[in-house]
Structure 1
């Protein structure tokens, strides 16, 4: 077993579970840190499951806990991030955590800048990468500019996706007219953390991702490109069903940015093709591990292992999936809601959904070598559905 332990921050979602499994399968000692017990239970690949202070409410206590833990180890642990809030936590405490933990990124603040939908523009503009037009809500003649420059429908999008999703269960608000725009902005109050963005026209299948790993000297060590099939909430949510598909133009488009800023580590770029102009727009960048982690690993692009080896200074295996595999990924729990949504809106037919489901699928949660988390989450989902049903019955 490797002497450097892997510390995974955040395991109350299947992304953290994917990191744990694909490290543990490679004989790496995995430690999980979270502020509450996970609804996925504890994977058989977890050696130590630690309950720790909350990353925001008790930030200083969590940092001290992590420092004390690292001091007790034989070698520096490798730090893994499973969600956006932990990326911000890392950047706020970058220097101290870098002293006691291993992780590839050397530039303080860069991860948060790439995640921020507005500051990201300074990078995309420098490297001439198309991005959807945006307008700040505090601009002069705001409503006139929205009508003239962006038009309706449009999106209200957050700078901090994680907090917005946690509050509203949506990644963005789709706005059909000026009346709706005013109503939603009134709901948001004095928030400075949202902006207006043009909707890039096109179906779900025009939504792509480019998943890349950059090693020392920003060398491109691996990539996979994907195409979205369904998402929840429909049209502007997170993927629930997607497939690996080789889309050659994506890698050169994002590569010039990552090499230019000397990026190191894993990143996923979300993009969308305009169905009328055929232009591919960069929508956002994720700088932590992602929904598709289990699928990437199934394709031989084991991003947690690559990240681990890079962090401890070992050679990184290269993996370029520049061909179609027909491998699909699904998050069944939310995909059920997505399917009903598309059927009700008429965007998809039942036949189309059945045809899409015939391919080899990688599950977000279930694994035959580690069934406990799948069973634990299923039990949680059944209890949650039962509680909702009981609440509806009581209302009647």
Structure 2
């Protein structure tokens, strides 16, 4: 296999999982990040080559030129795997240029962004008959009247551009309980220069969140798919998966495959749905157009999406496959699940007994792998460093507070 795999983003476990999923098949993996400090994924034994690139936000053009210069030196076009939304956005902006040198599944420039952008995603969903939560935009006439009549409180203030919002506020949404909190949230995003929408919260606990994970080939047809159910998220209620189970939900295939084929998507994608606890109806919440958080669990149950992508783009596609039976397997990000459980217990959304009962299932951990332990040790070192820095800062803060009170 002459085509190398270039993995963008190794300071998170998604990149680590992609490296492992390809490395087990003997594929030459190139771990790319803008810094070596916290790129624990690059410590994997399956990494063939490590590169430090310009920062994709600080100098976007230099980052793209770096990728192109690397590809020009190869004997065959590498396959490009972005493992963070910010990398996907850059790739989408330079897609025609990058496709001259890299194998990338998507062929339509702008489609990645349309599906990531909450406003354009809502329009596409409605156009193709897929239910989305009721939405109002701050610039609409009679905005507050519509919030009262169509949405109600509590509701969420949701970013149009999620990566930009998270970069500023370190959270995915603002949950507001009245007009005063709504005004405060809108003022914050206005000062940050960000666009938002206001949406109804679909009734149901976090375990009403489901996903449809699929690969669409170069003909735009779903060839591989699986459905899953979230148990816990972090931050709780509006966060990322930390404990997610493979769960057969045929209805999600019927909705998801039809929608994705209609919009012409190609490559791997995950649609997040929420099932209304009162009506049983599924609502499309968002799309992830890069490998999912629980990619390694999907690999362990038989769907290696990075390898599926690599094989098709290099001209040797794997046969179609779907997981149609329960495997009783869950993805587990232990570190953040502990934080999530703490918050679920504190807010009395879960009991300790309910948490313990879910732990009986077969677990695939996000980072730890006894056959490839170095990334977990590196990650533990990063966390330990953060804890020590906090402990050192506490005495200094106390001294500063005492001095301020004396003054």
When normalised by structure 2's length, the TM-score is 0.95
In 2, Cα distance between equivalents of 1:60 and 1:234? 37
Task: Look up the SS of the partner of 1:366 in the other structure.
Answer: coil
Q: Give the match for residue 328 of structure 1.
A: 330
Q: Distance in 2 between matches of 1:355 and 1:98?
A: 48
In the aligned structure 2, how far is the partner of 1:139 from the partner of 1:392?
46
Equivalent position SS for 2:213: strand
Q: How far apart in 1 are the matches of 2:313 and 2:132?
A: 32
Distance 2:374 2:93 in 1: 35
In structure 1, runs of 5+ residues without a counterpart are none
1:365-384 correspondence runs (5 A): 365-384=367-386
SS in 2 for 1:239: strand
Is contact 2:165–2:194 with CA below 8 Å preserved after alignment?
Answer: no
Question: How do 1:61-140 residues align onto structure 2 when only pairs under 5 Å count?
Answer: 61-140=62-141
CA distance in 1, matches of 2:87, 2:147: 33
Asked if the contact 2:231/2:245 (under 8 Å) is kept, the reply is yes
3-state SS in 2 of match to 1:212? strand
Deviation of the 1:169 alpha carbon: 2.2
Match of 2:291 among 265, 289, 296: 289
**Contact 2:247–2:326, Cα closer than 8 Å, also in 1:** yes
Provide the aligned C-alpha RMSD in A: 1.2
Greater Cα shift, 341-350 or 141-150: 141-150
The answer on whether the counterparts of 1:15 and 1:289 sit within 8 Å (CA) in structure 2 is yes
**Alpha-carbon shift at residue 65 of structure 1 (Å):** 1.3
Q: Are the counterparts in 1 of residues 189 and 195 from structure 2 also a CA contact under 8 Å? A: no
Question: How far has the Cα of 1:107 moved from its partner?
Answer: 0.7
Structure 2, unmatched stretches of 5+, are 399-407
Tell me if the contact between 1:306 and 1:317 (Cα under 8 Å) persists in the aligned partners: no
The CA deviation at 1:231 is 0.7
Contact 2:135/2:197, CA 8 A, preserved across alignment: yes
Does the aligned pair in 2 maintain the 1:39–1:380 contact within 8 Å? Answer: no
Q: Give the whole-Å Cα distance in 2 for the aligned partners of 1:371 and 1:317.
A: 32
CA distance, structure 1, for counterparts of residue 88 and residue 39 of structure 2: 22
Counterparts of 2:139 and 2:68 in 1: how far apart (Å)? Answer: 41
Counterpart contact for 1:21–1:43, Cα < 8 Å: yes
Instruction: Assess, with a 3 A threshold, how the Cα gap between structure 1 residues 138 and 192 changes in structure 2: closer, same or farther.
Output: farther
Instruction: Spell out the pairing of 1:1-396 with structure 2 (5 A cutoff).
Output: 2-37=1-36, 38-40=38-40, 41-190=42-191, 191-396=193-398
Once the two structures are TM-superposed, the CA of residue 192 in structure 1 deviates from its matched residue by 4.1
* Cα deviations by residue, 1:90-137 (Å, 9 ceiling, x for unpaired): 111111101010011111111110111110122211211100111111
Whole-angstrom distance in 1 between the partners of 2:270 and 2:166: 19
Maintained 8 Å contact 2:242/2:337:
yes
Equivalent pair of 1:42/1:49 in contact (CA under 8 Å): no
Distance (whole Å) between structure 1 residues aligned to residue 169 and residue 241 of structure 2:
17
Post-superposition shift, 1:219? 2.3
**What is the aligned residue count?**
395
Q: Any idea what SS the aligned residue of 1:228 has?
A: strand
Q: Matched residues in 1 for 2:320 and 2:299: separation?
A: 13
Runs of at least 4 residues off by over 4 Å: none
2:32 alignment partner, SS class: strand
User: What CA deviation, in whole Å up to 9, does each residue of 1:7-39 have, x standing for no partner?
Assistant: 011111110110011101110000121111134
Encode CA deviations 1:33-85: one digit per residue, 9 max, x unaligned. Answer: 11111341521111111001111211111111111111110101111110111
